[in-house]
Amino acid sequence: MSSIDATLTPERSGAPARAAEEAASFRLEYRRFGAFHRWMHFLTMVSFTVLVFTGMPLRYKTTGWAQLSMDLIGGVQTAAILHRMAALVTVFYFACEVLFIVLYVVQRRGPLWGPGTITPGRKDWQDMRAMFRWFLGRGPHPRFDRFTYWEKFDFWSLAAGTVIIGGTGFMMWYPVQTAKILPGFVLNWALVIHSSEALLAVGVIFLFVHFFSAHLKPGSFPMDKVIFDGSLPVDDYARERPIEYERRVQEGTLGRVLIERRRGFATKAAMVLWYAITIIALIGALGFGVFLVWVALSWIGVL
């Protein structure tokens, strides 16, 4: 930390007493996510959670836990309204994200593929194989760029899932209008697709990809706060994403992503929110884990 501070902000290293005092309340951090992406994530998080808890009981309608969930929500009619409200939030953030990508492309803000982009490439395949070797102690940990392969999977699977679930969801919301354009039996397909894709999304988000990488993986436990904070200590970033860090140092663009972070009362207050989110995530992941055990036991006929 101190070595990076010294090289990046030489003017500061010359004022010993004041610098030490300032360092207590200010810290130079690496800005990973801007306000836009943090808001997008927040809207996704809230709407996705509401959609899952108001929708999943319908797939397992005859179980006791489905009935209990509906009772807790306040009845199936309330759940239906909440589900549609969250769907509208989803439409909003998805439209914002599409607009962002369109502007990114039109205004040529950066490369569309290659190093540092979220587009999957050859390196992701190599990284994944290297990770499996590292898991088994047969090789070094791969050096990641701005986005890891699981983050790319997370992003694109959510994007595709939103189109699929959203499209079929609106078909079922407006069945009469849908039948005027498409044959009515498409509504049968819509329900099967909506429900199955939802289960897939819940597994990816609630456990296997997103919650694992944000809360459980080495370095993230108990919670990776960067999507809420926007920034993290430069040392940590340089260790986690060395390729991007080194590229910025080489290109001389590191200064663009360094911000002075004030760590005051607001940060401490936000900790309460972070841990609340962590607890909700934990409940979701645990609930999903129990659910998987239940499905497995049902299949082999124990239950």
Partner 1 sequence: MRGRRLIALAVAVALAGLLAWVLPPPAAFAQVNRDNARCLRCHADQTGTVVANREEKSLRVTSATFNSSVHSLLDCTSCHPGFTASDHSADQTQGWWREATLHSCGNCHAGQFSMYSGSFHGKLVMDEQSTSAPTCGACHGSHAIINVDSPAFRPSILPMCEQCHGSRSQSYLDTYHGKAFILGNESTAVCTDCHGTHRILPRSDPASTISNEHIVATCAACHPGANRSFTTYQVHLDPSRPGKSFTAFTSWLIYTGYALLIGLVFAFGGVHSVLYFYRGWKEGAYRRVEH
The tokens of 51 are what?
A: 């959609």
Subset of residues 267 to 286 that bind partner 1, contact rule: CB under 8 A: none
What is the smallest separation between the CB atom of 181 and partner 1, expressed in angstroms?
9
Q: Does 196 bind partner 1 (CB under 8 A)?
A: yes
The tokens of 295 are what?
A: 């499905």
Q: Does 200 bind partner 1 (CB under 8 A)?
A: yes
| Separation CA 273–CA 269 (nearest Å) | 7
What is the smallest separation between the CB atom of 83 and partner 1, expressed in angstroms?
11
Of 149, 147, 150, the C-alpha closest to 240 is: 147
Nearer to partner 1, 65 or 100 (CB): 65
> Is residue 187 within 8 Å of 179, Cβ to Cβ?
yes
Applying CB under 8 A, the span of 32-40, 54-62, 98-106, 265-273 interacting with partner 1 comes to 54-62
Q: Does 66 bind partner 1 (CB under 8 A)?
A: yes
# of chain residues touching partner 1 (CB under 8 A): 52
**Exposure b/e, 263-284, CB count within 10 A at least 16 = b:** eeeeeeeeeeebeebbeebeeb
Distance of CA 84 to the CA centre of its chain: 22
Q: Does 135 bind partner 1 (CB under 8 A)?
A: yes
DSSP annotation of 260 reads E
DSSP per residue over 73-134, as a string?
Answer: HT-HHHHHHHHHHHHHHHHHHHHHHHHHHHHHHHTT-S-SSSTTSSS--HHHHHHHHHHHHH
The tokens of 180 are what?
A: 């005027």
Applying CB under 8 A, the span of 88-96, 116-124, 193-201, 275-283 interacting with partner 1 comes to 193-201
Applying CB under 8 A, the span of 44-52, 61-69, 104-112, 116-124 interacting with partner 1 comes to 61-69
Subset of residues 207 to 246 that bind partner 1, contact rule: CB under 8 A: 207-209, 212, 216-219, 221, 233, 236
Binding positions for partner 1, rule: CB under 8 A: 57-58, 61-62, 66-67, 70, 75-77, 80, 131-132, 134-137, 150, 172, 175-177, 179-180, 182-185, 187-189, 191-193, 196-197, 199-200, 203-204, 207-209, 212, 216-219, 221, 233, 236, 292
